[in-house]
Amino acid sequence: MAKTYFTTDHEWLSVEGGIATVGITDYAQEQLGDLVFVELPEVGKTLSKGDTAVVVESVKAASDVYAPVDGEITAANEALSADPALVNSAPTGDGWLWKMKLADESQLAGLLDEAGYQAHIG
């Protein structure tokens, strides 16, 4: 069963079998407003925690989305190229951004659970 984690930078990760699906939270998409473009990561690229993985552009601004953990990009959500608004309509579902193979699962211990994230956005 997948386990979901959150970052203080408003990313979520759903982890199952050493693979994390990553996106931005509902709170983050509300703050950004309507997304008009998503610059997807390159499959095969290795990221370190804190690296910029994706750039999302809304009618308000462009924002970086950071890698929450170390790992290698295994998939990018190509549907967002044609329909970036999926991130607004389903941020924790069809609006996921990328998938990555975890390099060090112990990094998950430094992330928030849902209750911790809700307290963070308070």
Which H/E stretch holds residue 47? strand 46-47
**What strands lie across the sheet with 52-58, from one edge to the other?**
35-39, 52-58, 62-66
pLDDT of residue 35: 97
Domain coordinates in residue numbering, the chain: 3-109
How do strand 11-16 and strand 19-24 relate by DSSP bridges? antiparallel
pLDDT of residue 38: 97
pTM of the model: 0.96
- In tens, the pLDDT along 65-106 reads 999 999 999 999 999 999 999 999 999 999 999 999 999 999
CB under 8 Å to 109, separation ≥6 — which residues? none
CB under 8 Å to 42, separation ≥6 — which residues? 73, 76
- In tens, the pLDDT along 4-15 reads 999 999 999 999
Q: Are 88 and 27 in contact (CB under 8 A)?
A: no
Pick the closest to residue 22 from 70, 59, 61, 82 (CA basis): 70
Q: 3-state class of 110 per DSSP?
A: helix
What CATH number was assigned to the domain covering residues 3-109? 2.40.50.100
